[in-house]
Amino acid sequence: MEAITSLCKRRGFIFQSSEIYGGCNGFFDYGPLGSQMKKNIKDAWWKDMVESRDDMVGLDSSIIMHPSVWKASGHVEGFSDPMVDCKASKMRYRADQLFFAPVIVEGELIGYISVLESEKKAAEALALAESLKRKLAKQGRLETPILTPYTEAKAEEYDLIPSPATQKPGSLTAPRSFNLMFQTQIGAMADASTLSYLRPETAQGIFINFKNVLDSTRQKIPFGIAQIGKAFRNEITPRNFIFRSREFEQMEIEYFIPNDESWKQWHQEWVDTRLNWLASIGLDTAKVHLQAHEGKDLAHYARACTDILFEFPFGLQELEGIAARGNFDLTQHSTHSGKPLEYFDEESKQRYIPQVIEPSIGVDRLFLALLCSAYKEDIIDGEKRSLLQLHPRIAPIQLAVLPLVKNKEAIVEKANAVYQMLKKHWRTFYDASGAIGRRYRRMDEIGTPFCITIDFETLENNTLTLRHRDSTQQERLPIEGLSGYLRDLLA
Ligand code: ATP
C-alpha cells in the first residue's frame, strides 16, 4: 500500500487535501494524472451502463435536496455509526471497529486489552494480553483472548477497558450514535426550518425524480436510471487512503422492475453484469469475492444484497453493493410527499409501485482497486521497475511519443508531426527529455500502455518503434497505417 500511496503523490495522481495547511482528514485532491484517470473510470461506466443500453437513462440531480427526502429515506433517523471517544487522547473511534477482551490467567480475570479492527487484531490482542500478564507478574496459563466489539460491552466494563491510544483504562466513553450526514443551512436565515444536508448517497435523487423521468421519456419497466455524483459522509474514522473518505463519488443505478418475484433473476443478472464490467476494465478478478448479506446484516427493507468484495492490501473489503431493495424507497417517498410514485402497465392495465435493483459503487474505491490490480514490480535488464498495468481505457495517458534525441531537428519535427496526428484520437503525451530508457520507465510507472519512438531509421524509411509496456517488446511499424493498428490495440 505504501508503494501505491507514494507513487500517487510523486506522480500526481492523488494529494492530501489542504496539504499546505497540514491536511484535512478524509478529503483528497486528484492531481493531473489522477483527475484524468478518474474521468476515464466514470466515462467507461457511463458509456457501458448508460449510452450502450436502450433500457437506461442518465440523471444529474442536486447535492442538496429538500430535507424531507432524508426523513423519508430513513437517513435522519438511522444513518449513523456508533462512536466512542477517548477523553485522554481526544481520539474518536467507531465502536464496532474497536474490540476488547478480558485477560484471564489460570481462571483469574487480571484486566482488559483493546485493539482496533485489522487483519492482525487476534495476534495483537494476544501480544497485549501476554504483556499485561508479564507486567502483573502472573504465573500460569493465559487463555486466548476472545475479542468482542465495544458496542457489546456492558456498562460496568466501560471504565475497565483500556483506550487503544493510551493502553490505560478509564478514558473511553459509552458508545453514542453519530449521524454521518453533513449538515448545512439553506439561505440567509439559520434556523431549524432551513436545516439541510449534503447528500450521503446519490440514490435518493433518482427516486425523487422517478415520476419526472417516467413522464419525460418513453421508458417502460424494466428500465434504469443511472447517476454519477459526489456523496458526503462524516465518517468517524476515515482511513486506508481513498478507500473510506468523507467526500467521494458514487456511480449508482436504480433499475426498476415489476413488483413480483422476478427480482431474483434481475438481481442475479445485475451481479453478473457488474462483475463482467469490472473485469473488462482491468480489475484483478482473482482478488474478487462475493458476499451475500444474510440475517441481521440484511437491511430490514431489502430482499437481498450481494457485495462485491476486493482483496485490498489492508484486507478484504466491500467495493460495490448490489441490493434488491423491494419498493421501499418509492413507497416511502410516495407516503411522505403525498404524490403517488406508481407505474401504469399499458398491457396489463395494472398500476403498481415497482421494485428496484441497486448496483452502487464508489468511484474512488474503484480507482484504488484498479491501482492495486495494476501495480507490479519486476526486473528489466537487471534494474528494478515499477509499473501500472492499467487497461488502455483507464490509463491516464494512452500513448507517449518520444524522439530518440532532441538535438536532431529532423527527428524532432517528425516526432512532433506523429504526436499531432495521434493526439487527435488518443490521450497522447510528448516527452523529449532524458535518456530513452528513463523515459520508458516514467511512462511504465504511470501506466502508459504504449510508447512510440522516432529515431534515425524513421528518417530513412518512415517507420517507428512501438514499445509495449507490459512485455517491453518493441516492434518496427510503418507510420502509414499506424492509426488503424493502434485503434485495434487500444480497443
Ligand atoms: P461501508 O460499509 O464500507 O461503509 P456502505 O455499505 O455504507 O460501505 P453503501 O452505502 O452501500 O456503502 O455505498 C455504496 C458504495 O459507495 C460502496 O460500495 C463504496 O464503494 C462507496 N462508499 C461508501 N462509503 C464510502 C466512503 N466513505 N468513501 C469512499 N467510498 C465509499
Domain map (residue ranges) of the chain: 30-78+194-372, 81-178, 397-490
Report which ligand 1 atom has the smallest distance to the Cα of 320: 18
Packing angle of the helix pair 32-46, 363-374 (nearest 10 deg)? 110
Q: Whose C-alpha lies nearest to ligand 1, atom 21?
A: 362
Strands 399-403 and 450-454: parallel
pTM value?
0.92
What CATH architecture does domain 30-78+194-372 belong to?
Answer: 2-Layer Sandwich (3.30)
Is the CA virtual torsion 353, 357, 359, 360 positive or negative? positive
> What is the whole-number distance in angstroms between the Cα of residue 127 and the centre of ligand 1?
32
State if residue 306 touches ligand 1 by the CB under 6 angstroms criterion.
no
State if residue 245 touches ligand 1 by the CB under 6 angstroms criterion.
yes
Containing H/E element for 489?
A: helix 482-490
Distances (CA, A) of 328 to 60, 66, 301: 22, 19, 6
Q: Whose C-alpha lies nearest to ligand 1, atom 18?
A: 320
Give which of 371, 380, 376 is closest to 438, Cα–Cα: 380
Give the contacts of 95 (CB within 8 A, at least 6 positions apart).
81, 82, 83, 84, 149, 150, 151, 175
Give which of 306, 224, 226 is closest to 264, Cα–Cα: 306
Mutational test site, ligand 1, from 25, 234, 250, max ligand atoms within 8 Å of CB: 250
State if residue 364 touches ligand 1 by the CB under 6 angstroms criterion.
yes
Is the CA virtual torsion 187, 188, 193, 198 positive or negative? positive
| Per-residue model confidence as pLDDT tens for the chain (491 residues) | 999 999 999 999 999 999 999 999 999 999 999 999 999 999 999 999 999 999 999 999 999 999 999 999 999 999 999 999 999 999 999 999 999 999 999 999 999 999 999 889 999 999 999 999 999 999 999 999 999 999 999 999 999 999 999 999 999 999 999 999 999 999 887 777 789 999 999 999 999 999 999 999 989 999 999 999 999 999 998 989 999 999 999 999 999 999 999 999 999 999 999 999 999 999 999 999 999 999 888 988 899 999 999 999 999 999 999 999 999 999 999 999 999 999 999 999 999 999 999 999 999 999 999 999 999 999 988 999 999 999 999 999 999 999 999 999 999 999 999 999 999 999 999 999 999 999 999 999 999 999 999 999 999 999 999 999 999 999 999 999 999 999 999 98
Mutational test site, ligand 1, from 17, 83, 94, 318, max ligand atoms within 8 Å of CB: 318
> What is the whole-number distance in angstroms between the Cα of residue 203 and the centre of ligand 1?
12
Distance in angstroms between the alpha carbons of the first and the last residue of the chain? 30
Give the contacts of 17 (CB within 8 A, at least 6 positions apart).
23, 24, 27, 28, 29
State if residue 396 touches ligand 1 by the CB under 6 angstroms criterion.
no
The C-alpha cell 403498481 sits at 352
State if residue 308 touches ligand 1 by the CB under 6 angstroms criterion.
no
State how far the Cα of 190 lies from the Cα of 226, in Å rounded to an integer: 34
Kindly state the cell numbers that stand for 332: 416511502
Give me the amino acid identity at 103: V
State how far the Cα of 323 lies from the Cα of 277, in Å rounded to an integer: 17
CATH tag for 397-490 (out of 3.30.470.10, 3.40.50.800, 3.40.50.2000, 3.40.50.360): 3.40.50.800
Q: Whose C-alpha lies nearest to ligand 1, atom 8?
A: 318
Report which ligand 1 atom has the smallest distance to the Cα of 235: 27
One DSSP character per residue, 200-243 reads S-SHHHHHTTHHHHHHHS---SSEEEEEEEEEE---SS-BTTTT
